[in-house]
Amino acid sequence: AFLVALVVACLTHYEKVVRNQYYGYPDEWFPSVSATTGDRYPARSIFQILIALTSGPRFAILALWYLHAVSKTRTPSMLAKVVLVVGLIRTVSCGVFVYITSTDDHDIHDIGMLVYIACTFPYMLGTIWYERRLAGTSVQQAVRWRQRICTAFIVSLAPLIYFFIQHKVHHVKGAYTKYAFVEWSLIFYDVAFDGCSSWCFRRLQLQVVDAGKAGEAALLGGTGTADSSYGQGKNIASYAAAAISCACSTLSNMENIYFFADTYLGFIFWSLLTAVPLAIWYFPLWHMGLSGDELFLFANVGAVVLAVPLARRLVNSHRGFVHLLTVLTLVAYKFPAPEHRLYLTAFGSFASCVAWFSSFSARTSDRNVYAWLLGLIASCVIKAMWRSNNPVWPIMHAENGGWNGSAAMAAGTTALSSSSRDASPTRKAGHAGTSSLDWLPSSFGFGSLLFALHTVFSDSTTPLRWSVDGYPSTGAQPVPWGALSIAAMCGGLLLAHRRLALTLLWFGAGVLSIIIFSATSGWFSFLGGLLFAVFLFSLAPNFALSLGTQPVGRSLAASLLTYNILMLAHVWTVAYEFVPGGPLLRERTGLVMAMMTAALAVGFAATRKYAHLRAYPSTVRHPQEQQAYDQRRQATRSIVRRTAIMLASLGAIVYLARIPLRAPQPHIPAEHRAFTAGIWTIHFGLDNDMWASEKRMHDAIDELGLDVIGLLESDLQRIITGNRDLTQSLAESLNMYADYGPAASKHTWGCTMLSKFPIVRSSHHLLPSPDGELACAIYATLDVHGSEVDVIVSHNGQEENLLDRRLQTTELARIIRTTSNPIVFLGYVVSKPFGEVYNILMGDGQLNDVDPTDWDRWCEYIGFRGVKRIGYARISHGGITDTEIQSAKFQLLDAPSNPAADRAAAIKHHTQNLAAGEGHRVPALQYPPQFRGTGVRGHRYHVFDEPRYF
């Protein structure tokens, strides 16, 4: 009731309910209990209705506690009666301050509140004092928790009074918000104290008996015959079966709620696991090599603490507390320093691994494993909603679309629900792992599985970007076909309990899917990826359950080391230029996939060998216990099926909603036959302070009016960059066509071209790179106002590799030289103007430099041929990256141009180039004025301090 009222009040009247008699938002930003529940409609009415619904159970708790207490003693104690009476007064006083709000009658409202608080002390202390005299493990567990809650309640009164005085007497800004937090904590302590009664009622049974039927049965039972005795036994058995069925039905309803909560915690696990390498990547990116922070990648290996019996027992009995530790690390977004966010995220990943991997050996391990895997699918759906970003990552905050705070609050609630449940007893490890190396196959298999899930299926667009081709046969596009990726994951999970999942034929089909996915491109690769998803998710629960039967310490150590080694190998295939031993895995993704498949095969064999571990032998169970277990297993399958269908449906809705409904429109009207182009190196969508930069990039590109832009370092479909699709995100938000450069499996850092004009055709090129990192290029033909214009976007090698840059630029010059269409070059060349590599590009490629007099360039260059240049600007990066935006405006020619004459004219004196000032251009052909002077958001015209016009 309180939480619903809080949410409704914040959604409907946030600034009104946080305002008090002295201050409002933003000085005060959290509402008090009274403001939430009594000040505004509809929160007040909803709260009062919910409180009315809960009043009956609250009175029932008092009555049941009294009956339970007196049943444990021979005569009713006066203390029990006093506690009952005080509890009744306390409950009635709750109704007083709930239904008579402070706006109705301030005095009566306050009296009701004071009576409630005054009764809370004797109620809590009397309950604890009385229960300490009672026997029973459950009762004593209730006493321990009641003591803790009562202590917290009493201790909280001091800050409550302090902050109230600060607000009421000293008028301190923000004091009432702090007072509100303490006030809300008292509410939760109060509810939790009554919730401890569940331990006391554990052995309590309530029976509703038809007295007439009971009397008739008593008369019949009084004959004392053997037949009646037998019939009585049958009735008892049937009653027992009915009781078990009823209990399981009730348990099933609660288990459904708990299952959704655990699925959300699974989402948090995958969010943190995928965030760690993403946060690490920021540091070597700026160091251009290993920074030492890479060691945090192994934070997950800390889960081997479960090998210590004491640690394992503590985690199993307080798993909710461990989840709560995980949740606390979600506040990393509050820390501006990137290293602090990395430390918190790594610790959160460690704690989450401990909590989840310990649950794989529990009696409810099948349920836990399915919730864990559905959490991964949920993360894919949520990333689809946020256009490939995860709203709880430490690179997100409110300014760029993060929902970190809301997600942390929801995760805290689910963690508390986990802590309210008894930990399931763990089953003993399989005998095979205790005296031999039989535990290794399961470990290798699970580590490889974790790697495959993270690498390929932690985002629904990764299987599509792995195989993308040029226009017009690009293959499947992320929107809407990403929905099929989610559906395939869900479908695989629903096959996991089938016998098919552990057959050799199915494994053979899975290996074939991996080969098709890795070795082909376009639609064939995507279809192979869908089959790979079905195959992998059908294996995942079996692999996890198999791991749960092994010695926990050594099996987790081997699994997580396998996962991390494969992950490093995957990174080494593209980052070989900057890491030790890089040439060994240079461009060898096929080898990494082969190692992954071999480890999956080993794990598959081990899982088949111990297939009996998927269920518990009925011979060791009491029949009623076996029945309860079978019903629980069926209930788990049912809720898994419903959740999977729900997620697949939600994924389809999200992707269908993302389909663009209108064609892109150029910024410059068609009658001018002009367009604006640009080039920008974007550092993988992480700004200089380690925040996701898509939103700021969108604002800069849109306000500059860029019709065509090349984005470099844009391939984010890797573990270290979060498996994000920045290209699709910007294409949708800017309403532009997109050409994603060489596929994610091609070992480049990526090129992307966004265009307001239709892409007629394009090809992706891997440029010669014998020494350094593999260079990429996109060669596209656009339909610009009815005329074909070619555009090349390229990212050449580093300064240290002169041979690479020569060969790469020579190949680019050859491509440029062969086209007869007008052409614009947007690239990263690494050369001084009129240097050797520059001359190869401009001379051999027969290109014109957009401004030969601009001597202060090194990386980015714009060239053209067959179009008329009308403007050129250099815009500062605004902290989004370390590289500026270069832009040029071009106009289509009515007649074919003379490349030699264009080139001679372009080298004329600087003042001649500037002869046409901005005033000679119509506004549609001018650069926007807001970037002059200090600019906006850190972006401004720099170097020349203004655009140049020609």
Residues 6+ apart with CB under 8 A from 539: 449, 496, 501, 510, 600, 603, 604, 607
User: What six digits make up the tokens of 570?
Assistant: 């995957």
- Taking only the tens place, the pLDDT of each residue in 125-173 is 888 877 777 766 777 777 788 888 888 888 888 888 888 888 878 888 8
Q: Give the DSSP per-residue string, 803-849.
A: HHHHHHHHHHHHHHHH--S-EEEEEE----TTSHHHHIIIIITT-EE
pLDDT of 221 strictly over 50: no
Confidence of residue 421 (pLDDT cuts 50, 70, 90): low
- Taking only the tens place, the pLDDT of each residue in 513-522 is 999 999 999 9
Average pLDDT, integer, range 876-899: 86
Q: Does residue 480 have a cis peptide bond before it, meaning omega lies within 30 degrees of 0?
A: yes
Beta bridge partners of 678: 709, 887
Q: Give the DSSP per-residue string, 709-749.
A: EEEES----SGGGTS--HHHHHHHHHT-EEEE-S-GGG-S-
Q: CA-to-CA distance for 118 and 115, rounded, in angstroms?
A: 5
| pTM score, whole prediction | 0.75
What pLDDT shows up at residue 310? 86
Q: CA-to-CA distance for 5 and 16, rounded, in angstroms?
A: 14
- Taking only the tens place, the pLDDT of each residue in 561-594 is 999 999 999 999 998 888 888 889 999 999 999 9
Active-site residue identified among 795, 910, 920, 942: 795
CA distances in angstroms from 533 to 263, 491, 492, 691, 787, listed in the order given: 19, 9, 7, 31, 43
CA distances in angstroms from 556 to 313, 409, 451, 549, listed in the order given: 16, 30, 14, 11
Q: Strand locations in 4-102, DSSP E?
A: none
Average pLDDT, the chain: 85
Phi first, then psi, for residue 352 (nearest 5°) are: -65, -40
* Amino acid identity for residue 272 in this structure: L
Give the residue with greater pLDDT, 490 vs 219.
490
Average pLDDT, integer, range 418-424: 60
Phi first, then psi, for residue 290 (nearest 5°) are: -65, 140
Interior CA angle at 183 toward 182 and 185, to 5°?
Answer: 65
Q: How, if at all, do strands 885-892 and 867-875 pair?
A: antiparallel
What pLDDT shows up at residue 217? 46
Q: CA-to-CA distance for 143 and 153, rounded, in angstroms?
A: 15
Is residue 170 part of the annotated active site? The answer reads no
The answer to whether residues 587 and 569 touch, using CB atoms and an 8 Å cutoff, is no
* 329-338 burial: b if 16+ Cβ within 10 Å, else e: bbebbeeeeb
User: What six digits make up the tokens of 722?
Assistant: 């979060």
The answer to whether residues 34 and 99 touch, using CB atoms and an 8 Å cutoff, is no
Q: Maximum Cα–Cα distance for the chain, whole Å? A: 123
For the beta sheet containing 823-828, the strands, ordered from the edge strand earlier in sequence to the opposite edge, are 759-767, 775-784, 787-795, 823-828, 860-865, 848-849
Q: Give the DSSP per-residue string, 224-276.
A: --HHHHHHHHHHHHHHHHHHHHHHHHHHHHHHHHHHHHHHHHHHHHHHHHHHH
User: What six digits make up the tokens of 764?
Assistant: 């992706």
What pLDDT shows up at residue 629? 67
Interior CA angle at 702 toward 938 and 943, to 5°?
Answer: 40
- Taking only the tens place, the pLDDT of each residue in 289-342 is 778 888 999 999 999 999 988 888 888 888 888 998 898 899 999 899 999 999
Q: CA-to-CA distance for 301 and 296, rounded, in angstroms?
A: 10
CA distances in angstroms from 153 to 147, 184, 188, 206, 409, listed in the order given: 10, 11, 9, 32, 21
Q: How many CB atoms lie within 10 A of CB 216?
A: 11
User: What six digits make up the tokens of 389?
Assistant: 């970003």
* 121-160 burial: b if 16+ Cβ within 10 Å, else e: ebbbebbbebbeebeeeebeebbebbbebbeebeebeeeb
Residues 6+ apart with CB under 8 A from 653: none
Interior CA angle at 751 toward 749 and 756, to 5°?
Answer: 155
The answer to whether residues 679 and 793 touch, using CB atoms and an 8 Å cutoff, is yes
Selection from 828, 815, 719, 810 nearest residue 773 by Cα: 828
The answer to whether residues 442 and 550 touch, using CB atoms and an 8 Å cutoff, is yes
Q: Does residue 277 have a cis peptide bond before it, meaning omega lies within 30 degrees of 0?
A: no
Radius of gyration (Cα) for the chain, nearest Å? 34
Confidence of residue 901 (pLDDT cuts 50, 70, 90): low
The answer to whether residues 269 and 360 touch, using CB atoms and an 8 Å cutoff, is no
pLDDT of 479 strictly over 80: yes
The answer to whether residues 514 and 435 touch, using CB atoms and an 8 Å cutoff, is no
User: What six digits make up the tokens of 304?
Assistant: 């081997």
What pLDDT shows up at residue 222? 43
Q: Is 935 exposed, middle or buried (0-12, 13-18, 19+ CB in 10 A)?
A: middle
